Chain A
Amino acid sequence: MAELTPLLRTEHLTMRFGGVVANDDINFTLQEMELRCLIGPNGAGKSTFFKSLTGQQTPTSGTIAFRGLPITGRLPHEIARMGIGIKTQVPNVFNGLTVRENIWLSARRKTTSQSLSAAVRGVLDLIRLTPQADRTVATLSHGQRQWVEIGMVLAAEPHLILLDEPAAGMTDEETLLTADIIRDINLSRAIVVVEHDMAFIRLIAKTVTVFHQGRVLIEDTVDKVLADQRVRDVYLGKKVAA
């Protein structure tokens, strides 16, 4: 049986900043339609990993392949056009534009003009910001701005969605809604989620990858990972101690 080409595969991916090795020899494979959670203590290298995947930085060494095509070192807009969308850890939105304009700018790359306004309306409904559609994004709360960014990612209809701490700054209710939406979009596309909130991880996770000091510590089902002593030591232990 021929092995299927994975959606995403990194081999020996390494990213150094001077003496700091933020990502160290990471071999990571994600299949089509998979939902993966990526966890690890502060500074483990999760956001750095996402930045290499989306072309925001060029890795020091190693390769990244998206559906078998090498994308290592390609520019962000080229990778975005291939179908990788990201919600960054620090919200990246168009603060001076309205919510609708934010979503529209993303949707119009994918959608023809006939269905464009319907697509924008659909996303606005999904992220529950229809009443605020004509407000400037700068006037929204932190949680709402997270939604705008998630909405922009969804509107682009990427094949792979990377979410870096999507529930940060959200209320419990909003967090539950985020989990719902993530499960919903996972019906049609692959997602990698970085989160610190363990309750949230339990809500959505099947397979979990744990990063520690730039390396993959363990990769397994959510129950096995959360029961693992090493994980408790490096991650949960630290979090309780912090």
Chain B
Amino acid sequence: MTQRLALFTQALAVVVAAVAIAIAPGMIEIFTLMQITLFASMAVLSLSLAFIWGFGGILSFGQTAFFGLGGYAYAVAAINFQDSTQAIMLAVIVPALFSAILGYFAFYGRISDVYLGVITLTVTLILFNVINSTSGDEYRIGEAMLGGFNGIPAVPTFNMPFDPESPLSPEQSWWATAGTLLLVYLGLRALLASPFGRVIVAVRENEVRASLLGYDPRVVKLMTFILGGAIAGLAGALYVNWGAFVGPTIFSLSLSAEIIIWITVGGLGTLLGPIIGCILIEYIVAGIGSQQTLNSNLVLGSVLVFFVLLIPKGIVPTIRDIATGLLARIGRGHGDATPATMPQTAGVK
């Protein structure tokens, strides 16, 4: 009973979200729409780490490496092809290949979790420095000048698939970005509900046991890591489409740290939480940015400390616990003797 109710509620929530995405442009001003388009692209980035860290148990301190590679791959390809279709594909493929190489050495070389964090962090720094020093005419890929610390301005934005003559309006860009967020979320949920998704969680839970049952943890972690890299790259394309610009600060370590804060606040081990955490915090940061009295890093730090101390599980798991408790109490109140079991522990919200 409870399970079917939960499933129904969730399906309803997805429908509501889809409708909200569809009608949002008619309801809000263009400035706000642009802003939530940015938030939606960041939320895709948040999902990429939420997946590999929360479910794969792999903490990458350099998820912006894949985000930035996706952004640059998109910009360079969009300038060369003058069509965003192939550019978006490359924004997924390039970071996926890069994470495959990085992940292969990390997982097959049996590098410890801590070192993986250090390596991803270092790679992000290296990419930042490499791109930063590409000023000058000699640094070009086809038509695209990399531009060093100035970045690449006037990147062509999204157009209708295989139709460069029809660029997307801001409203259409919103639908593309928010629609991608919804699809990535649903895709990850479906994956985690599948047998392979269970294996991913099993490896996170106990790598030794998983291997003693015949699962190769290296393969499982590598697949997880590559998928995370691909999603981060896609987020990079969405981000560059939003601003029509990409610069080396896309590889910033402070953004890498921010993703970790989004997930901690929203709830590690969930998918919905990191989306909410990302949008909430980006909203606060944007609000602070528009006035001068408060330093945004100070506020971010305070929010993190507040959550770690008072709501360590994050928003979504805490609300879920409260709701489960209430449901159980209502159930008992009606003389329902069935014990309140969790719908599924490996389940995702």
A residues apposed to B, CB below 8 Å: 54, 56, 75-77, 80-81, 85-86, 88, 92-98, 101, 104-106, 108-109, 134-136, 152, 156
- Whether a CB of chain A sits under 8 angstroms from the CB of B106 is no
Residues of A within 8 A of B215 (CB): 77, 109
- A97 pairs with B213, CB closer than 8 A: no
- CB pair A101–B212 under 8 Å, yes or no, is no
Give min CB distance, B194 to chain A, whole Å: 12
B214 touches A81 (CB 8 A): yes
A80 touching B214 by the CB < 8 A rule? yes
- B211 engages A94 (CB within 8 Å): no
B341 close to A96 (CB less than 8 A): no
The answer to whether B212 and A105 touch across the interface, beta carbons within 8 angstroms, is no
Q: Which of A92, A104, A136 contacts B209 (CB 8 A)?
A: A92
Contact (Cβ within 8 A) B206 A77 = no
Contact with A along B182-208 (1 / 0, CB 8 A): 000000000000010011011001101
Pairwise interchain contact B206-A156, C-beta atoms closer than 8 A: no
Whole-angstrom distance between the alpha carbons of A156 and B205 in the complex?
19
**CB-CB contacts below 8 Å: B41-74 with A:** none
Name A54's contact: one of B210, B212, B342 (CB within 8 Å).
B212
Residue contacts A-B, CB under 8 angstroms, 15 given: A56-B208, A76-B211, A76-B212, A77-B215, A80-B211, A93-B209, A95-B205, A96-B201, A96-B205, A97-B202, A98-B346, A109-B214, A136-B345, A152-B213, A156-B213
Q: How far is the CA of A223 from the CA of B199 in the complex (A)?
A: 45
What A residues does B199 contact at CB under 8 A? 105
User: Are A136 and B342 also in contact (CB < 8 A) when A76-B211, A93-B209 are?
Assistant: yes
- For residue B209, which residues in chain A have a CB less than 8 angstroms away from its CB? 92-94, 152
Docked pose: A98 CA to B210 CA in angstroms: 15
Inter-chain contacts of A97 with B (CB < 8 A)? 198, 201-202, 205, 345-346
Q: Is the CB–CB distance between B211 and A77 below 8 Å?
A: yes
Besides A77-B215, A80-B211, A134-B342, 11 other CB < 8 A contacts? Answer: A80-B214, A93-B209, A94-B202, A94-B206, A96-B346, A97-B205, A98-B345, A101-B198, A101-B344, A101-B345, A152-B213
Tell me whether B336 is interfacial, beta carbon within 8 Å.
no
In the assembled complex, the CB of A64 is this many whole angstroms from the nearest CB of chain B, namely 16
B213→A101 contact, CB < 8 A: no
For residue A104, which residues in chain B have a CB less than 8 angstroms away from its CB? 198
Among residues 304 to 349 in chain B, which have CB atoms less than 8 Å away from a CB atom of chain A? 341-342, 344-346
Is B216's beta carbon under 8 Å from chain A? yes
B214 to chain A, nearest CB (A): 4
**Closest Cβ–Cβ distance, residue A110 to chain B (whole Å):** 9
- Which B residue's beta carbon lies closest to that of A104? B198
In the complex, which of the residues B201, B205, B213, B345 contacts A109, with contact meaning CB atoms closer than 8 Å? B213
State how many angstroms separate the Cβ of A26 from the closest Cβ of chain B. 21
Task: Verify A93–B341 contact, CB threshold 8 A.
Answer: no
Which residues of B sit under 8 angstroms from A85, Cβ to Cβ? 212
Q: Are A106 and B213 in contact (CB under 8 A)?
A: yes
Query: Does A156 contact B214, Cβ atoms closer than 8 Å?
Result: yes
Instruction: Give every chain A residue within 8 A of B342 (Cβ-Cβ).
Output: 98, 134, 136
**Residue numbers in A under 8 Å from B216 (CB-CB):** 75, 77
Contact for B346 among A54, A81, A101, CB less than 8 A? A101
A91 nearest in chain B by CB position: B209
| Interfacial chain A residues near B208, Cβ < 8 Å | 56, 76, 88, 92
Q: Mark B205-237, 1 if CB is under 8 A from A, else 0.
A: 110111111111100000000000000000000
Most buried by A among B205, B208, B209, B210: B209
B202 partner residues in chain A, CB cutoff 8 A = 94, 97, 105
**Closest CB in chain A relative to B219 CB, distance in Å:** 9
Task: Give the 4 A-B CB pairs with smallest separation, nearest first.
Answer: A80-B214, A76-B211, A94-B205, A92-B209
Look across to chain A and name the residue whose beta carbon is closest to the beta carbon of B208. Answer: A92
Closest chain-A Cβ to B348's Cβ sits at a distance in Å of: 13
Task: Please indicate the chain A residues that have their CB under 8 angstroms from the CB of B201 in the complex.
Answer: 94, 96-97
- A97 vs B195: C-alpha distance when bound (angstroms): 14
Q: Which residue of the partner chain B has the closest CB to A92? A: B209
| A98, B344: Cα distance in complex, Å | 8
Nearest chain A CB to B342 CB, angstrom units = 7
Question: B346: shortest Cβ distance to chain A, in Å?
Answer: 6
